[in-house]
């Protein structure tokens, strides 16, 4: 994952500014011999593109590691809003866990137009899943806000919207652009959690269509790598079943190992249920999930 444009770099600058304040360092001390205060403020206001080398010099001046910056990037980008939590619980159909975040995000207007609108679409998705609105009402709202999102899908927000749109309409009209964006865009680290959610959403969609086997395999491989790189149990749980399905399709008998890992993560996470992946699992085995685990434990104890 690399930073690839100024909208990416500004997030890192905001993280640097957060650390600067926590260290009690003045702007003047941070930027001395690096840039001017006027330019710094223009960078912060996104009135001027910030060069990567200036960012690197400021990171060195702060005396922090890149891992420290990445942690702060997450704090800056995600904020204490609960957006990622809400999107995650909603994706996994954990509506009870999503409810407190739904109440908090109903009138969310703290970020860009793209993110604010995406949140409002997920709020509506919650309402549809909770039977508070009909599917037709939800579709009408998706259509009404469609123009806000870029069909080139070069932002994580636009990509997220069109994946949601595709799932709701069960229509693959945007498939080529979605898969290109998922596989080719270098979304920065603070977006990985949202990337994981939408990648899994789209993998589930693709798993039901034999015409997209290659795209399913390629996206599954990327999702598996990102989930394990991020060490996120939720998405390792999800990535494991897609990994198993790819092996199954390629006649690799070790797919059962990945099914078992998926099931162990399900038990580890307690609130998870494999019902979201029922069609994928049933394509690979007719055994019940409990029976698979029971037989595996019996083998261990032997």
What average pLDDT score do residues 224-234 get?
A: 79
What is the reported pLDDT for 3? 40
DSSP state of 275: G
Share of the chain above pLDDT 90, in %: 45
Domain membership of residue 19 as a residue range? 6-78
Q: Strand (E) positions, the chain?
A: none
Task: Determine, yes or no, domain membership for 263.
Answer: no
The better pLDDT of the pair 17, 1 is held by: 17
Query: Length of the chain in residues, anyone?
Result: 302
Q: Is residue 100 part of a domain?
A: no
Q: Say how many domains are in the chain.
A: 1
The predicted pLDDT at position 275 comes to: 76
Q: Is residue 36 included in any domain, yes or no?
A: yes
Residues 6+ apart with CB under 8 A from 124: 133, 138, 141, 142
> How far, in Å, are 17, 19, 23 from residue 27 at the CA level?
8, 11, 11
What Å distances lie between residue 10 and 48, 55, 81, 208, CA to CA? 10, 9, 20, 39
- For residues 220 and 3, which has the higher predicted lDDT (pLDDT)? 220
Q: Looking at the domain assignment, is residue 181 inside a domain?
A: no
Separation between Cα atoms, residue 253 and residue 256, nearest integer Å:
7
Eight-state DSSP code of residue 50: P
Q: Are the beta carbons of 268 and 233 closer than 8 angstroms?
A: yes
Q: Is residue 69 part of a domain?
A: yes
In this prediction, residue 129 carries a pLDDT of 96
Among the listed residues 147, 148, 213, 210, the one whose alpha carbon sits nearest the alpha carbon of residue 179: 213
| pLDDT above 80 for 258 | yes
Please tell me the predicted confidence (pLDDT) of residue 288: 67
Backbone angles phi, psi at 209, to 5 degrees: -130, 110
In a domain, 116, yes or no: no
What rounded mean pLDDT belongs to the chain?
84
Read off the pLDDT of residues 164-216 as tens digits, 9 standing for 90 and up: 999 999 999 999 999 999 998 766 544 667 888 999 999 999 998 889 999 99
* Residue 163 pLDDT level (bands cut at 50, 70, 90): very high
Question: Are 8 and 188 a contacting pair, CB within 8 Å?
Answer: yes
| Angle, helix 6-22 to helix 37-44, in steps of 10 degrees | 120
Mean pLDDT of 4-8: 51
Q: Is the pLDDT of residue 98 over 80?
A: yes
Res 79: pLDDT: 54
CA distances from 129 to 43, 105, 111, 171, 201 (A): 41, 16, 25, 19, 15
User: What pLDDT shows up at residue 75?
Assistant: 54
Overall average pLDDT of the 61-72 stretch: 74
Q: In the prediction, which pLDDT does 44 show?
A: 84
Please compute the mean of the pLDDT values over residues 216-243 and round it to a whole number. 87
Confidence at residue 10, expressed as pLDDT on a 0 to 100 scale: 75
Q: What is the DSSP letter of 108?
A: -
- Whether 299 is in a domain gets the answer no
CATH number at residue 29: 1.10.260.40
The verdict on residue 280 lying in a domain is no
């Amino acid at each position: 994952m690399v930073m690839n444009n100024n909208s990416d770099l500004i997030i890192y600058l905001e993280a640097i500014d957060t650390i600067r304040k926590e260290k009690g360092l003045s702007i003047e001390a941070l930027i001395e011999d690096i840039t001017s205060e006027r330019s710094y403020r223009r960078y912060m206001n996104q009135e001027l593109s910030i060069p990567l080398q200036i960012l690197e010099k400021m990171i060195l001046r702060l005396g922090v590691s890149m891992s420290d910056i990445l942690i702060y990037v997450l704090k800056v980008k995600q904020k204490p809003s609960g957006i990622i939590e809400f999107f995650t619980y909603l994706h996994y159909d954990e509506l009870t866990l999503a409810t407190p975040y739904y109440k908090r995000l109903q009138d969310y207007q703290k970020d860009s137009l793209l993110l604010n609108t995406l949140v409002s679409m997920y709020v509506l998705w919650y309402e549809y899943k909770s039977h508070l609105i009909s599917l037709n009402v939800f579709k009408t709202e998706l259509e009404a806000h469609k123009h806000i999102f870029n069909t080139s899908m070069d932002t994580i927000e636009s990509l997220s919207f069109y994946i949601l749109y595709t799932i709701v309409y069960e229509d693959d009209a945007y498939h080529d652009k979605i898969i290109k964006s998922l596989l080719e865009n270098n979304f920065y680290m603070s977006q990985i959690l949202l990337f994981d959610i939408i990648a899994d959403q789209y993998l589930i969609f693709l798993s039901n269509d034999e015409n997209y086997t290659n795209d399913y395999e390629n996206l599954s491989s990327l999702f598996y790598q990102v989930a394990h790189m991020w060490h996120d149990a939720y998405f390792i749980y999800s990535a494991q079943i897609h990994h198993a399905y790819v092996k199954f399709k390629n006649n690799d008998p070790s797919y059962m190992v990945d099914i078992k890992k998926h099931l162990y993560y399900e038990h580890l996470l307690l609130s998870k249920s494999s019902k979201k992946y029922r069609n994928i699992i049933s394509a690979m085995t007719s055994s019940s999930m409990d029976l698979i685990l029971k037989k595996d434990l019996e083998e261990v104890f032997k």
